[in-house]
Amino acid sequence: MSAFRGNPGGGRRIRLGRVGRRRVQTVVMTLSVLMAVASAVAAGSLMVSASAPFDAAFARQHGAQLTVQIDASSAGADRISATAHLPGVTASAGPFQTAQISPPGPGGLDLQQSETVVGRSTPTGGVDDIVLRSGRWATGPGEIVLSTDADVVGPGTRPGSTIKASSAADSPTLTVVGLASSVTGSADGWVVPAEIALLRAPGAPVSAQMLYRFSSAATTAELNADRAAVAAALPAGAVTSAQSYLDVKLAADENTALFVPVMLAFGVLGLLMSVIIIASVVSGAVGAQIRRIGILKAIGLTPGQVVRTYLAQALVPAGIGAVLGVVLGNLLAIPLMSDAGEMYGGGSPGVAWWIDLAVPGAALVVVTLAALVPALRAGRLRTVEALAVGRAPRSGRGQWAQRLAARLPLPRAVTLGLASPFARPVRSAALLAAVLFGTAAGTFAIGLTSSASAVTAAREPSQRIPVTVYLGLPVDGAPGGAVPGPQGSPAATQSTPTTIDPAKTLAVIRAQPGTAAVVGQTQGTVTVAGATGAIRARLYQGPSATEAIALISGRWFNGPGEVVVPTHFLDTTGHQVGDSITLIDRGVRIPVRIVGEDFDPGEAGLTINTDIGTLAAAQPELHPDFYDVTLKPGTPVAGYVSALSTALKSTDAQAEANQAEHLNPTQIAFDAMAVLLTLMLVSVAGLGVLNSVILDTRERVHDLGVCKAVGMTPGQTVTQVLTSVAGAGVIGGAVGVPVGIALHDYVIPLVMRAAGSGTPAVVQDVFGLPELALLAVGGVAIAVCGALLPAGWAARTRTATALRTE
């Protein structure tokens, strides 16, 4: 009677012993599960963070539902504080004294606009908790914490740098001690309360800020009622401005609407690839031990013991890899979640506890299912058949490939490598699948990253404009009454009354040496016949094609009477490119024709673009509020602005150099996450290749010993092993790249549609010939990198040792 029948302990000793002796295979399986779990934890964390990101950040930071600026000279501090106890107010913070400063921007640029600085002794306080991104909070005079969204913040702004309160020579200098963010954008910077009096300009009104949360603030109507209640409790006119969190949420959602679906796609891709690679590695490892199964059965193991033995051999290293993967996944998630916080305007929460439990649990389930199929097959396998088959491929399999390869005018080591995959077609198919999936995933990920970058460029054509000239004096913190538009360039709510002669200013700009083109801009509000609500009109004067928003269909307008509209406008009104519509401005009906569909999801996708002359019938006096200036190649921006400012002194217009080098923090964060996730996906694919090549190399070690005995050098051995995967690399790259492109071309329109827009060509067509060539070579790179370790092991194996190995 067998020693193993009725003796489960013997089977357990064999299980543990096999795990210890097959060290290389155990390490590979452990690493594969580790990387798969780590990528799944990171991907799952991003998927969670991408779910209602603003809402999550707002709740976590106790965001202010209403940020109110109050004239403190007409309402005393006690009366302002008493508003915290109004009916419906559930929490409040303040009053905080505020001041307006006008620091030069990055590189000394004159931003010509003010920044709101709040005196706040601590970053927390029950409402609108400020999240420090770097550095520390201000604790003394001369220190400031800047918001990461402040215009004065540039690539070189970091703790330890300094800014001036204004461009005046005697302006106070502040040391930046930290960078922080407010989910509700309540300020551009924070200082200690005592510093406010020093920063407030002489004669400037004394202003205070109050932050509120209310029991009913889910809609604009409810917030308007809350604001009215606050205003009624203070002297008439004391409330100078109020910001609703719903407006901030709309802007934040517009900023991330195109990135959240991409993050979800990365998460799904990471989870799917983890499952595939784990299943491939485990099933291959268990299925490679047929001869060992025959030996165990010959000495008396029952089918059930065989199944349990090989399940344990898979689960032990998988369990270790899963635990280590959770640790690594959390470490990787820290920078990823930090970048997500930058993108979504919130804090940097840790990985949810249930992800740390669900991912390794799911991985072990996948390992069990992947190992169960070959383990059950092993349990049913007849002992004689298992012993007869051993580890060698079936007789005659792949010989036709060997004969065909031998005829090629190539070194014998190369022809042996080219033919070897055909001896193990199933395993070669698994290796090919790993390369193909890795190449497809890399192509897809790179395409998503490129499309996201194209989205940012398409939405911000004004970033190409080096110089802007403003007409009028700063009003409400922006020149000419201007407020930032969705493309990042200023745009006035209406043409601002001013004594400046626009025609004279335009003539001065055109006469300035180095000027290439000048485009005037303003904006107004119109209605469309048959539609409800006001619609913003962005109005251009001059060759506006230089600032054209990326087009989805049609063309840019050529003159008055033509308009370009976003996708949501067409969807809302039921029109299409080529239709005629009627604009109504000040009671005047103006017929226009839609000539193009642009990529402009901002402002709820209801902004039209047209020539300033289109509204001339209703507003004959309409003129630009600012001019965007493009320069001739080689013209230095700083020198041009200095000379133009001198020339414009007679007009009182103000020239400003735009912050072309001011990087988009959302784009930086997205690129960082995309690069890290892409590397993780490719690494997991490489581990799949490594596992397949190690199994194949170990099973063919006797054949390699024979080759070495007849004179094969270590270098030729490496060549043979690497050549054996080169074919899979070529085919995997050739197939994987088109698959990745097809997946990208399928997902991007879905992402754009989710953001309420069509897909411009610059966002869809991001793959050029150089990129495609590199991606195709990437398949070979994945295969070769995965095979380098086993190739080196095969080259170092002594001939006698290889010949003794069965």
What DSSP string describes 37-55? HHHHHHHHHHHHHTSSHHH
Token pair 């005995």 is found at: 709
Lowest-confidence segment of 235-239, 601-605, 754-758, 765-769 by average pLDDT: 601-605
Shared domain for 210 and 157, answered yes or no, is yes
The Cα–Cα gap between 258 and 284 comes to 40
Q: What φ, ψ does residue 235 adopt, rounded to 5°?
A: -60, 150
Nearest to 179 by CA among 161, 193, 166: 161
Boundary (domain end) residue, out of 624, 657, 690: 657
| Percentage of the chain modeled with pLDDT above 90 | 2
Tokens of 589: 């009906």
pLDDT tens-digit readout, 63-83: 888 888 888 888 878 888 888
Helix 260-287 vs helix 425-459: crossing angle, to nearest 10: 170
Length of the chain: 806
Q: Which residue has the higher pLDDT, 557 or 697?
A: 557
pLDDT tens-digit readout, 640-693: 888 888 888 877 778 877 765 445 555 666 666 667 767 777 777 677 677 777
Per-position DSSP letters for 508-538, written without gaps between them: HHHHSTTEEEEEEEEEEEEEETT--S-EEEE
Shared domain for 680 and 610, answered yes or no, is no
Tokens of 744: 């990208």
Lowest-confidence segment of 79-88, 108-117, 186-195, 737-746 by average pLDDT: 108-117
Boundary (domain end) residue, out of 625, 657, 689: 657
The Cα–Cα gap between 300 and 307 comes to 14
The pLDDT of residue 137: 92
Shared domain for 626 and 516, answered yes or no, is yes
The pLDDT of residue 594: 92
Shared domain for 505 and 627, answered yes or no, is yes
Task: Please state the three-class secondary structure of 301-320 as a single string.
Answer: CCHHHHHHHHHHHHHHHHHH
Number of folded domains in the chain? Answer: 4
Contact predicate 458/760, CB 8 Å: yes
pTM (2 d.p.): 0.63
Establish how many alpha carbons lie within 13 A of residue 153's alpha carbon, considering only the half-sphere containing its beta carbon.
21
- What letter represents residue 598's amino acid? D
The pLDDT of residue 673: 66
The pLDDT of residue 492: 33
Asked whether residue 24 is assigned to any structural domain, the reply reads yes
Shared domain for 505 and 591, answered yes or no, is yes
Token pair 């217009």 is found at: 653
The pLDDT of residue 595: 93
Shared domain for 627 and 670, answered yes or no, is no
pLDDT band for 593, please (50, 70, 90 cuts). Answer: very high
Q: What is the average pLDDT value for the chain, to the nearest integer? A: 75
pLDDT band for 749, please (50, 70, 90 cuts). Answer: confident
Nearest to 538 by CA among 493, 574, 583, 474: 493
The pLDDT of residue 3: 44
Asked whether residue 241 is assigned to any structural domain, the reply reads no
Is the dihedral angle over the CA atoms 470, 473, 474, 480 positive or is it negative?
negative
- End-to-end Cα distance, the chain: 28
The Cα–Cα gap between 327 and 752 comes to 35
**Beta-bridge partner residues of 523:** 538
Asked whether residue 259 is assigned to any structural domain, the reply reads no
Shared domain for 418 and 490, answered yes or no, is no
Is the dihedral angle over the CA atoms 150, 154, 159, 162 positive or is it negative?
negative
The pLDDT of residue 202: 77
pLDDT band for 796, please (50, 70, 90 cuts). Answer: confident
Shared domain for 653 and 504, answered yes or no, is yes
Helix 714-754 vs helix 260-287: crossing angle, to nearest 10: 150
Shared domain for 649 and 782, answered yes or no, is no
Calculated CA dihedral for residues 679, 680, 683, 687, nearest 10 degrees: -170
The Cα–Cα gap between 583 and 524 comes to 12
- What letter represents residue 634's amino acid? G
The pLDDT of residue 342: 57
Asked whether residue 673 is assigned to any structural domain, the reply reads yes
Within 10 angstroms of residue 769's Cβ, the number of other Cβ atoms is: 7
pLDDT reading at 173 higher than 50 = yes
Asked whether residue 249 is assigned to any structural domain, the reply reads no
Shared domain for 472 and 598, answered yes or no, is yes
At residue 628, the 3 state secondary structure works out as strand
Residues 6+ apart with CB under 8 A from 21: none
Average pLDDT (128-133) is 85
Task: Give the helix/strand (H/E) hosting 197.
Answer: helix 196-199
Average pLDDT (296-323) is 78
The pLDDT of residue 491: 35
Task: Give the helix/strand (H/E) hosting 490.
Answer: strand 490-492
Establish how many alpha carbons lie within 13 A of residue 44's alpha carbon, considering only the half-sphere containing its beta carbon.
25
Asked whether residue 174 is assigned to any structural domain, the reply reads yes
Q: Which residue has the higher pLDDT, 166 or 197?
A: 197
**Beta-bridge partner residues of 100:** 116
Per-position DSSP letters for 407-426, written without gaps between them: TSSS-HHHHHHHHGGGGSHH
Report how many helices (DSSP H) and strands (DSSP E) the chain contains, helices first. 24, 24
Shared domain for 415 and 487, answered yes or no, is no
pLDDT band for 204, please (50, 70, 90 cuts). Answer: confident
Contact predicate 429/738, CB 8 Å: no
Calculate the alpha carbon distances from 148 to 54, 154, 195 in Å. 16, 9, 21
Tokens of 323: 């635990």
Nearest to 496 by CA among 587, 620, 380, 622: 622
pLDDT tens-digit readout, 238-294: 888 888 888 777 666 665 665 666 666 666 666 676 666 666 666 666 656 656 666
Asked whether residue 101 is assigned to any structural domain, the reply reads yes
The Cα–Cα gap between 96 and 118 comes to 6
The Cα–Cα gap between 83 and 86 comes to 5
Could you tell me the maximum CA-CA distance found in the chain, to the nearest angstrom?
Answer: 111
Shared domain for 613 and 651, answered yes or no, is yes
Q: Which residue has the higher pLDDT, 219 or 106?
A: 219
The pLDDT of residue 622: 84
Boundary (domain end) residue, out of 192, 216, 240: 216
Contact predicate 682/269, CB 8 Å: no
Q: Which domain holds residue 29?
A: 1-61+268-390
Nearest to 58 by CA among 261, 341, 264, 263: 341
Cα 226 to chain centroid distance, Å, stands at 36
Average pLDDT (1-22) is 46
At residue 292, the 3 state secondary structure works out as helix
Asked whether residue 30 is assigned to any structural domain, the reply reads yes
pLDDT tens-digit readout, 418-471: 677 766 676 677 777 778 877 887 788 788 778 877 877 776 666 678 888 888
Lowest-confidence segment of 18-27, 121-130, 312-321, 591-600 by average pLDDT: 18-27
The pLDDT of residue 442: 79
